[in-house]
A and B are shown apart, each in its own frame.
Chain A
Amino acid sequence: MKPAPFEYVIAESWDAAAALLAEHGDDAVILAGGQSLVPVMNFRLAQPAVLVDVNPVADGAYLRIDADRLRVGALTRHVRFEAPQVGGPLGALFPRVARHIAHLPIRMRGTFGGSLAHADPASEWCTLARTFDAVMVARSVRGDRRIDASDYFQAALVNDLADDEVLREIELPALGPDWACGFAEFNRRAGDFAIVQSVAAFELHDGRIVDARIGIGGAAEVPWRADTAEAVLAGAIPSASLFEEAGAAAAESVGELMTDRQASAEMRRDLVRVMVSRALEDALAAGVER
């Protein structure tokens, strides 16, 4: 369980990383926290010729509110999200999501950008990014390219980044104070990748939902935004039965459900229904607390 031989190079800036990727083409891969890459290298499922270590990149790890955008540096470690970093409903959601990612030692190393680059179907950050229509900012020798979440996730472990692009920043909307955000997931052990998870959020005006976001992870090959379920919520007053209805609509909306020995497609559909309604309950509870 040792990786095949590889060359190891260090990048101290995103431009340097982009230049190295341009030089080595698809022989090179980025090493961020290494929490997904190193295991697959140890299993020899991945045998990259060149590792470009971006950990030394200056100012690669940050969370910044910049006008109405929340900017996350790709190298921000998962653990950082466990403590409040920024205000607002999204800032309040981060710690509740982050603690579901693996275990503390893994969260100490793994990065936000690494999760998005790895694009596991059950990654919490990927689901969150899809839910809020994040924009991925990729750097190459050609400059920056902005990729919408709806285009970014292409299949399980496949994203829209070109071989010579490095993900340097993720942009999220800085949600206003009337938003309430929630999260729920189901797995067999604490720290395991979820079988199904949901990020849900809604904006309340005078007790009515005026806007809603529902994202689902783990159910299909890519994180999914359930717009039909969002439509169920629009204009309605939050209630348990409304959330159930939204859950049912979400379950209907997911196209090709995955099936494996943890859960059949049918079981996943049921879980989507439950996780969406629970994420909405969680949002409501969080909203009330504020």
Chain B
Amino acid sequence: MTVIGKSVPRLEDRALLTGMGRFAGDRNFDGQLHMRVVRSTVAHGRIVSVDTGAAAAMPGVHAVWTGADVADIPPIDLRPGSALQDLEKCRQHILVQEIVRYVGDPVAAVFADDPHRAEDAAELVWAEIEELPPVVGLMDPPGEFAPGVSTEPAVFEKGYGDVDAAFAAAAHIVECELSVGRHAGVPLETRGALAIWNDAEARLEFHAAAKIPHTNRIALAALLGLELDQLHLFEGHVGGGFGVRGEIYPDEVLVNLAAMHFRRPVKWIEDRMEHLVAANHSREQTHRIRAAVDADGLVRAIDDEFWFNQGAYARTHGATVPTVSATMLPGPYKVPAYRAKGHIRLTNVTPAGTYRGPGRYETSFVREGLLDRIAAELGLDPLDVRRVNLVAPDEMPYERPFEVGGKPIQYDSGDYPKSLQRFLDHIGYDALRRDMAARREAGEMAGAAVICFLELGGDGPFDDVRVEMAADGAVEVVTGVASVGQGAETVIAQVCAETLGIDYAGITVTHGQTDRIERGQGARASRVTVMTGNATHKAALGVRAILLETAAGLLQTAAEELEISGGTIRVAAAPEGGPSVTVADAAAETLRASSGDRIAVEETFENDRATYSFGAQMAAVSVDPRTAGVTVERFAVAYDIGRAVNPMLVEGQLVGGAVQGIGGALLEEFLYDEAGQPLSVTFADYLMPTAMEVPDVECLVLEEAPSTTNPLGLKSGGDPGITGAGAAIAAAIGEAIGRPGSVARLPVSPMRLREILTGPA
């Protein structure tokens, strides 16, 4: 019996489908106060005064805080290791101290006994702000952003090989400018937090935490001046994470600080308008890129310079997005010489952080757009250009000689050309291209394109797991990860069940509770299945050994000769009906002998290498030449996950990612006017894709190349659906309109596409 590799139903679903979900909004404590944040309505300005009198006098209002009340709280730190040059100087205070730097910057916080009253009172807080000229243009020449801080707080280079020599010797040089618009993960559940001071335990408790509770515990304790054991975080259900939810923002700190200060529970639920200006934005970057190319399209070198819009402050992710952009741009291709120069820019807009597929969505679009230009300019087939450049299977493991954290990047395994071919066969590529060509022949604008991408994940450095078994055989897996809806519980239970030979459905998986396990890394960077899966496997092997040892005594057989399956331990070689003992009996016997109440094995899985995997995407679109409207007719994703613990969940990730990626390619964008006023503040103007705009996403989950970085051979699976989606849509539109490589900017709004259609060929 094996359960790894099976699309078994999700353990999470019963609670979610029966209305037992416990999201931030579902949690309440007696006597709780509700917080409402007053936000700057101007993009840049000096606070002259904040009048809180009228608000404080409202019935039900407990307190109103301004910057002065929290002046002793340091600004929010960047995550260890993510800072770069002057970025640390750009950290955000939990309430503005003097200068507001974007529309949405928190100026005051109102605490009242009811959320409506808090909102009414917040309306009466009057901040007099002397407006200053805002910086809005990403590509403006550098200037001063704040005293002693440039609008360009960091510039960095990543590269290897002799780029200049390659360009000097190049047969062809192809160059272009490509940009990705500002958009972000927009979870259906907005952010929320609930904090309570627990007097009995003399500790602060932060409920409705998400994503990285253990990491945030350390950071929050430092901010609040607490010892680590005075603070615990408790994850609830999470209605979407995507990198955005679960970071430490000013709001979450305020809630915790207030609960500590007032010794009353404090609850905060963000509304959608706030979310769209306060939670991290992402993606916005412009690349000026050129390639030195042989006549057959083989890329000898890439030279890229790019500008990344960090917004008004550096947030917890520090320089993560631009750094990953620089190192992942070459993707699945050889690119023997490479140089990327990244400019991190500050502007008076909402700060940026990671969004699902950070740095990869953007640079997949840039790289594949470049390849499409190469194909167009050299008169080559776009797929042939990709084929000549793909890393070959005999080059695995492939070293990309970047120094990232002191180590070169190493692509662990894969047969990229074979995976690509399987995808082409799967989608019927040749027939599709013929069909599209015939439609264009007949006057339609229709086209299909396939692009390739590379994914990374499975990030270490460690994960701890404790597998506990009670006397009745009930198993609890205690982990330091989190669930953002991806099915973490199911996958971990599957790995544990497989190792222990028991039913996965009876296993309880605990995550995101800092009082249950000392350390944890949470759910970030597509790491849970790889890291926690392997840690679970290790710990479960420990429990298995204990059970087998007990069973060996009971069955008078050497432990090595026993096997467990279906919850029963028996002699492997013996015929059916031979001597056996149930796992529960073995557990009871073990605990009786040791007079413990649980068998518990805690293990750490450490890994300093990420997994790298190949993927490809296909988009087929038609364009209405008279409206410049785009219809996505087909969309397909292939992804080599190495070994799929639960193929259904992998497909779920691919589909969800693809939908979000299509959103970023066609619809979603945070726009600002010249004064730095946000124009996308509701779902009427920040356009999320719906079922009507997205076709069924076709998935091909491949298990070509298990990872060599971990015993289970697992690779990451959280991001690949989104990674190449912008690239695929752009390439397909280029094909459809008969101008391959012409889409230079995402999202492709009708207005932008119209410019291309009416512009010079």
Chain A interface secondary structure, helix, strand, loop or mixed?
loop
Whether the pair A192, B687 counts as a contact (CB closer than 8 A) is: yes
- B627 partner residues in chain A, CB cutoff 8 A: 186, 271, 274
- Do A2 and B119 have beta carbons less than 8 Å apart? yes
> Which chain A residues border B165 with CB–CB below 8 Å?
none
Q: Is the CB of A188 within 8 A of B751?
A: no
The reply to whether B271 and A191 form a contact with Cβ atoms under 8 Å apart is: no
Q: Decide: B751 and A1 in contact? CB cutoff 8 A.
A: no
Stretch of A161-169, A208-216, A258-266 contacting B (4+ beta carbons < 8 Å): A258-266
Judge whether B667 and A264 touch: CB under 8 Å: no
B115 with A2: CB separation less than 8 A: yes
Q: Are B692 and A191 neighbours in the complex by a CB distance under 8 Å?
A: yes
In the assembled complex, the Cα of A262 lies from the Cα of B671 at a distance in Å of: 11
Contact of B116 with A186 in the complex, beta carbons under 8 Å: no
Report chain A residues within 8 Å CB of B119: 1-2
B273 located at the interface, meaning its Cβ lies under 8 Å from any Cβ of chain A in the complex: yes
Given A1-B272, A2-B116, A271-B627, decide whether A263 and B671 contact each other with a Cβ distance below 8 A. no
Cross-chain contact B693 with A189 (CB below 8 angstroms): yes
Q: Which residues of A contact B687 (CB under 8 A)?
A: 188-189, 192
Cβ A267 vs Cβ B751 within 8 A: yes
A116 to chain B, nearest CB (A): 20
Q: What separation, in Å, do the CA atoms of A264 and B749 have in the docked complex?
A: 12
Residues of A within 8 Å of B667, CB to CB, are 188-189
With a CB–CB cut-off of 8 A, which chain A residues contact B751?
261-264, 267
Asked whether A44 and B123 contact (CB < 8 A) given A1-B271, A186-B629, the answer is yes
B264-283 to A contact mask, C-beta < 8 Å, 1/0: 00000001111000000000
- Taken together as a complex, chains A and B put the C-alpha atoms of A195 and B629 apart, in Å, by 11
**Interface size range on B against A:** 20 to 34
Closest chain A CB from B120 CB (angstroms): 7
In this assembly, does A270 line the interface, its C-beta being within 8 Å of a C-beta of chain B?
yes
Q: Which of A31-47 contact B (CB under 8 A)?
A: 39, 43-44
Does A4 make an interface contact (CB < 8 A)?
A: yes
B679 touches A261 (CB 8 A): yes
In the complex, the answer to whether A267 meets B116 with C-beta atoms within 8 Å is no
Kindly report which residue of chain B lies nearest to residue A1, judged by CB atoms.
B271
A190 at the interface (CB under 8 A from B): yes
Interface positions, chain B 664-692, Cβ under 8 Å from A, are 666-667, 671, 679, 682, 684, 687, 689-690, 692
With A and B bound together, what is the CA distance between A190 and B693 in angstroms? 7
Q: Does B754 contact A (CB under 8 A)?
A: yes
By a CB distance below 8 angstroms, the chain B residues around A195 are 750
What are the residues of chain B within 8 A of A105 when measuring CB–CB?
A: none
Residues of A within 8 A of B679 (CB): 261
Cα separation A284 to B754 with both chains bound (whole Å):
28
Tell whether, in the assembled complex, residue B692 and residue A190 are in contact, meaning their CB atoms are under 8 Å apart: yes
- Chain A: CB-nearest residue to B273: A1
Bound-state CA distance A271–B750 (Å) is 11
CA distance A262 to B629 in the complex (A): 12
Complexed CA–CA distance, A220 and B684 (Å):
19
Mark A173-208 against chain B: 1 for CB-CB distance below 8 A, else 0: 000000000000010111111010000000000000
CB distance from B192 to the nearest CB of A (A): 13
Instruction: Judge whether B626 is part of the interface by a CB distance below 8 angstroms.
Output: yes
CB contacts (< 8 Å) of B273 on chain A: these are 1, 43
Complex CA–CA separation, A94 to B273 (angstroms): 34
Nearest CB on A from B675, distance (A): 14
Report A249-290 residues with CB < 8 Å from chain B CB. Answer: 261-264, 267, 270-271, 274
Are B749 and A267 in contact, with the CB atoms below 8 A?
no
Chain B's nearest CB lies how many Å from the CB of A274?
4
Contact A270 B690 (CB under 8 A): no
Q: Are A5 and B750 in contact (CB under 8 A)?
A: no
- Cα–Cα distance between A44 and B682 once the two chains are bound (Å): 13
Q: Identify the closest chain B residue to A277 (Cβ).
A: B626
- What is the distance, in angstroms, from B48's C-beta to the closest C-beta of chain A? 24
Taken together as a complex, chains A and B put the C-alpha atoms of A288 and B203 apart, in Å, by 76
Interface residues of B in 685-722 (CB under 8 A from A): 687, 689-690, 692-693
Output the least CB separation between B236 and chain A (Å): 21
Most B-side CB within 10 Å, residue of A186, A188, A264, A271: A188
Q: Which of B101-150 contact A (CB under 8 A)?
A: 115-116, 119-120, 123
Q: Mark A95-134, 1 if CB is under 8 A from B, else 0.
A: 0000000000000000000000000000000000000000
CB distance from B610 to the nearest CB of A (A): 36
Once A2-B119, A4-B123, A5-B120 are accepted as A-B contacts, the answer to whether A188 and B626 lie under 8 Å apart by CB is no
Q: Could you say which residues of chain B place their CB within 8 Å of the CB of A270?
A: 626, 754
B123–A189 CB distance below 8 A: no
Q: Which of B638-685 contact A (CB under 8 A)?
A: 666-667, 671, 679, 682, 684
| List of A residues within 8 angstroms of B123 by Cβ | 4, 44
Which A residues lie within 8 Å of B684 (CB)?
A: 192-193
Pairwise interchain contact A188-B750, C-beta atoms closer than 8 A: yes
Q: Is the CB of B754 within 8 A of A267?
A: yes
B residues in contact with A274, CB < 8 Å: 626-627
CB neighbours (8 Å) of B692 from chain A are 189-191
Among A39, A190, A271, which residue has its beta carbon within 8 angstroms of that of B690? A190
Q: In the complex, which residue of chain B has the Cβ closest to the Cβ of A187? A: B629
Report the bound CA distance from A43 to B277 in whole Å. 14
Please state if B120 and A188 are interface contacts (CB–CB under 8 Å).
no
Chain A contacts for B693, CB-based, 8 A: 189-190
Complex Cα distance, B271 from A91, in Å, reads 41
Q: How far is the CB of A151 from chain B (nearest CB, A)?
A: 29
Binary flags per residue of B422-435, CB closer than 8 Å to A gives 1, else 0:
00000000000000
- Tell me, in angstroms, the Cα distance from A39 to B271 when the chains sit together: 13
Min CB gap B182→A, angstroms: 13
Choice from B120, B271, B666, B682 contacting A4 with Cβ under 8 Å? B120
- In the complex, A8 Cα to B297 Cα: how many Å? 70
Are A189 and B689 within 8 A (Cβ)?
A: yes
Chain B residues in 8 Å Cβ range of A2: 115-116, 119
What is the CA–CA distance of A267 and B626 in the complex, to the nearest angstrom? Answer: 10
Residues of A within 8 A of B682 (CB): 39, 43
Q: In the complex, how many angstroms separate the beta carbon of B630 from the nearest chain A beta carbon?
A: 9
- Return the CB mask of B623-641 against A: 1 if under 8 Å, else 0: 0001111000000000000
Taken together as a complex, chains A and B put the C-alpha atoms of A262 and B750 apart, in Å, by 8
Least CB separation from A43: chain B residue: B273
Which of B119, B626, B684: most chain A Cβ within 10 A? B626
User: A1-B272, A43-B273, A261-B671 given as contacts; is B749 within 8 A of A189 (CB)?
Assistant: no
| Bound Cα distance A79, B271 (Å) | 29
Residues on B with C-beta less than 8 A from A261 are 671, 679, 751
Instruction: Determine the distance from Cα of A267 to Cα of B753 in the docked complex, in whole angstroms.
Output: 11
CB contacts under 8 Å to A, within B704-761, are 749-751, 754
Complex-state Cα separation, A192 to B272, whole angstroms: 18
Contacts of B272 in A (CB 8 A): 1
Is there an interface contact between A191 and B690, defined as CB atoms closer than 8 Å? Answer: yes
A-contacting residues of B (Cβ < 8 Å)?
115-116, 119-120, 123, 271-274, 626-629, 666-667, 671, 679, 682, 684, 687, 689-690, 692-693, 749-751, 754
Instruction: Give 12 CB contacts A-B under 8 Å.
Output: A1-B272, A2-B115, A4-B123, A186-B750, A188-B667, A188-B687, A188-B750, A189-B687, A189-B690, A267-B750, A270-B626, A271-B627
A contact residues vs B (CB 8 Å cutoff): 1-2, 4-5, 39, 43-44, 186, 188-193, 195, 261-264, 267, 270-271, 274
Additional A-B contact list (8), CB under 8 Å, known A188-B687, A261-B671: A1-B272, A1-B274, A188-B666, A189-B667, A189-B692, A195-B750, A263-B750, A274-B626
Q: Which 7 A-B pairs have the closest CB atoms?
A: A1-B271, A190-B692, A274-B626, A186-B627, A2-B119, A2-B116, A189-B693
